[in-house]
């Protein structure tokens, strides 16, 4: 049986299906707030936004860093949403922990055992993404690094793996979600955005994630994706997010049964008049 792990006061586990949403990176105060308000209105309960971005090229936008943390602090105060952001460097732990309700460990850092060990010594929930080429066993062993230090608040995230297929960015391994649920008590969420690499695939992959039993989704959303400083091609637009959320939550309610709460199930009448 899967345990329930909370981010702020928001539960992830068998009796809830929860959406985490937000921009890949905080680009400005205005866009961060605008995105947060839009995803919140559509029923997402946790905001995810990057502050330190681990980019393949050192010349790509690396995030606004400390300035973005201040912005997130303000957005959190305004919206009341708990916030997740990625920690890429253990030396930034204190600074990030001051603001974040959960820390994302990205795919590129899944094997960063020093980082995982330090997070294990905190009480912060850890959203642990599967490495680009990591097996299910390696993901579970990475989670062990956090758990064995005493921090049991780990949520696993399947975000697609590298295969020979090049028609999309990564291959979403839906089977891994079912296998992880067999092998661990930890909640499992799916990030369809990084697997898809383009907007049109985000909804179908999200529905697959719901159907295979994921406990939630982590989705990238941007008010103007064509202007995004990173991952614009895969970001849902804020103005299409409510319709997306409605489809996901409808399937969630069907799959998980009426005894399970589906967070953010916004009544259709409200969405239609929005
Ligand atoms: C991200 O969440 O923006 C990100 C960089 O993801 P990943 O570590 O899965 O590539
Ligand atoms: Mn991203």
Domains and CATH numbers, the chain: 5-273 (3.20.20.70)
Q: Please give the DSSP secondary-structure letter assigned to residue 198.
A: S
The pairing of strands 102-105 and 83-86 is parallel
Residue 103, pLDDT score? 98
Structure tokens at 224: 């103007």
CB 161 within 8 A of CB 191: no
Question: Can you say whether the dihedral through the CA atoms of 122, 128, 131, 134 is positive or negative?
Answer: positive
Q: Say whether pLDDT at 271 is over 60.
A: no
Question: Which residue's CA is the nearest one to ligand 1's atom 10?
Answer: 107
Question: Which residue's CA is the nearest one to ligand 1's atom 6?
Answer: 106
N-term to C-term CA, the chain: 38
Quick one: which atom of ligand 1 is closest to the CA of 191?
A: 9
In testing the pocket of ligand 1, which one of 49, 68, 107, 218 has its CB within 8 Å of the most ligand atoms? 107
Quick one: which atom of ligand 1 is closest to the CA of 53?
A: 5
Query: For residue range 212-252, what is the model confidence (pLDDT) as tens digits?
Result: 999 999 999 999 999 999 999 999 999 999 999 999 999 98
Query: For residue range 124-170, what is the model confidence (pLDDT) as tens digits?
Result: 999 999 999 999 999 999 999 999 999 999 999 999 999 999 999 99
CB 29 within 8 A of CB 64: no
Residue 142, pLDDT score? 98
Residue 274, pLDDT score? 46
In testing the pocket of ligand 1, which one of 24, 25, 104, 106 has its CB within 8 Å of the most ligand atoms? 106
CA 68 to chain centre: 18
Question: Which residue's CA is the nearest one to ligand 1's atom 1?
Answer: 24
Can you spell out the DSSP letters for 139-171? Answer: HHHHHHHHHTTT---EEEEE--B--S--SSSSB
Structure tokens at 188: 């499992």
Q: Say whether pLDDT at 104 is over 50.
A: yes
Question: Which residue's CA is the nearest one to ligand 1's atom 9?
Answer: 107
What burial class does residue 25 get, using C-beta atoms within 10 Å of its C-beta: 0-12 exposed, 13-18 middle, 19+ buried? buried
| Partners of 207 in the β-ladder | none
Name the one residue in this structure whose structure tokens are 């979600």: 177
Question: Can you say whether the dihedral through the CA atoms of 230, 236, 237, 238 is positive or negative?
Answer: negative
Separation in Å, CA 56 to CA 53, 90, 146, 240: 10, 19, 25, 29
Any residues with Cβ below 6 Å from ligand 1, and which?
A: 24, 50, 54, 106-108, 129, 159, 194
């Amino acid at each position: 049986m899967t345990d329930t792990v909370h981010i702020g006061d928001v539960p992830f586990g068998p009796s809830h299906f929860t959406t985490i949403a937000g921009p890949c990176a905080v680009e400005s105060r205005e866009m961060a707030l605008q995105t947060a308000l839009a995803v919140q209105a559509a029923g997402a309960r946790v905001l995810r936004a990057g502050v330190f971005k681990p980019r393949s090229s050192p010349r790509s936008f690396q995030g606004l860093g400390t300035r973005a943390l201040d912005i997130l602090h303000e957005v959190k105060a305004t919206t009341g949403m708990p916030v997740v952001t990625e920690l890429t460097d253990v030396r930034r732990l204190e600074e990030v922990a001051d603001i974040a309700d959960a820390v994302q460990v990205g795919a590129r850092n899944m094997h960063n055992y020093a980082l995982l060990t330090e997070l294990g010594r905190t009480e912060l929930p850890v959203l642990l993404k599967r490495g680009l080429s990591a097996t299910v066993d390696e993901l579970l062993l990475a989670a062990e690094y956090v758990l064995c230090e005493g921090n049991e608040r780990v949520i696993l995230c399947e975000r697609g793996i590298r295969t020979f297929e090049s028609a999309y960015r990564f291959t979403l391994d839906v089977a891994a979600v079912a296998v992880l649920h067999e092998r661990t008590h930890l909640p499992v969420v799916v990030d369809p955005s990084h697997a898809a690499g383009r907007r049109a695939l985000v909804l179908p992959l999200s529905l697959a994630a719901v159907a295979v039993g994921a406990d939630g989704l982590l989705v990238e959303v941007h008010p103007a994706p064509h202007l995004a400083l990173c991952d614009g091609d895969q970001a849902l637009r804020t103005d299409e997010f409510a319709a997306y959320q409605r489809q996901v939550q409808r399937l969630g309610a069907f799959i998980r049964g009426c005894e399970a709460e589906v967070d953010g199930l916004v009544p259709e009448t409200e969405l239609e008049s929005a």
